[in-house]
Amino acid sequence: MDMDVLNMFVIAGGTLAIPILAFVASFLLWPSALIRIYYWYWRRALGMQVRYANYDDYQFCYSYRGRPGYRPSILMLHGFSAHKDMWLSIVKFLPKNLHLVCVDMPGHEGTTRSVLDDYSISGQAERIHQFVECIRLNRRPFHLVGTSMGGNVAGVYAAQYPEDICSLTLICPAGLPSTTESKFIKQLREMQESERIDRIPLIPSTPEEMADMLKLCSYVRFKVPQQILQGLVDVRIPHNDFYRKLFLEIVNEKSRHSLHENMSKIKAPTQVIWGKQDQVLDVSGASVLASAIPDCHVYILENCGHSVVVERPRKTANLILEFLALLHSMGNNKKQA
């Protein structure tokens, strides 16, 4: 074989080997870094841009796509201990011309974390209102989406700032009393009785605890490699003290039933999406909302747990789009009448 051809193959092989070896090394030695790269790549692929907004000395981190148009902008509020990138699985199935905004909730990811901040549900709703005013999202009423803790905040926001929003989607929201005790609530009760508040199921510290949390939150059984579980834990461990403080804040008397206490004030058309097999917050909460909010559309997803956004992203995106289209059609009919 000609030496030039041989050298070409050697160089080509070396060029391919470097990224492969880098990937293997990252997977084995630094899985948390690989997870961050994964989210960075996914954001870029979906056209989501990260920006910061400041309210006095407080900083909000958010991602967005598109510009405000004739259709309402959509603001998405994530759940406890998550971050703005959890919505990427939904964003994938939403039209690119929709104006989408995903914000890191107070104290999470790139948004300011302060020991002086009020992390109650009403305190978080006030912070989100500050964010909305910072980016002038409420120049026109927008559609607000929230899941779990973020659903609790979204519902309270809709009650406290009704002029800001045109419609609301609540996905397995917290903040409601339920007629049926979920597996998670039973675990919490047992934890309180044994005074073991250091073992909160939603705050894992080991790969095994992370696997247990995923089983608790999801009906679909995802096969997650041990290294990825370790990476997910590594990303969370530096924040676990904050998560414990936040958790105790949102389950105390002031915040535990915030959504229930405010739902009679919600006047916007409301969509409720809930996984039928939710083991964190029992699906009976959907009927509580339906009985209290006049214009409430309820969708119960079969074979789905608490992590609706991850388990059924396409279905969830379609339900949101169908709900918005229905409201648009109803609005046009009223104008013609």
Query: Hey, which residues does 146 pair with through a beta bridge?
Result: 77, 170
- Number of Cβ within a 10 Å radius of residue 269: 21
Q: How far apart are CA 130 and CA 167, in angstroms?
A: 19
CB 191 within 8 A of CB 199: yes
CB 35 within 8 A of CB 232: yes
Q: How far apart are CA 310 and CA 304, in angstroms?
A: 10
CB 266 within 8 A of CB 289: no
Q: How far apart are CA 284 and CA 299, in angstroms?
A: 12
In degrees and rounded to multiples of 5, residue 64 shows phi and psi of -150, 165
Whether residue 99 lies in the annotated active site: no
Whether residue 148 lies in the annotated active site: yes
Q: How far apart are CA 206 and CA 199, in angstroms?
A: 11
Which CA distances in Å does 336 have to 131, 159, 329? 36, 29, 11
89, 278, 282, 307: the catalytic one is 278
3-state secondary structure 266-299: CCCCEEEEEECCCCCCCCCHHHHHHHHCCCEEEE
148, 167, 258, 307: the catalytic one is 148
Whether residue 278 lies in the annotated active site: yes
83, 99, 143, 306: the catalytic one is 306
Q: Is 137 exposed, middle or buried (0-12, 13-18, 19+ CB in 10 A)?
A: buried
Pairing status of strand 270-275 against strand 296-301: parallel
Residues with catalytic roles? 148, 278, 306
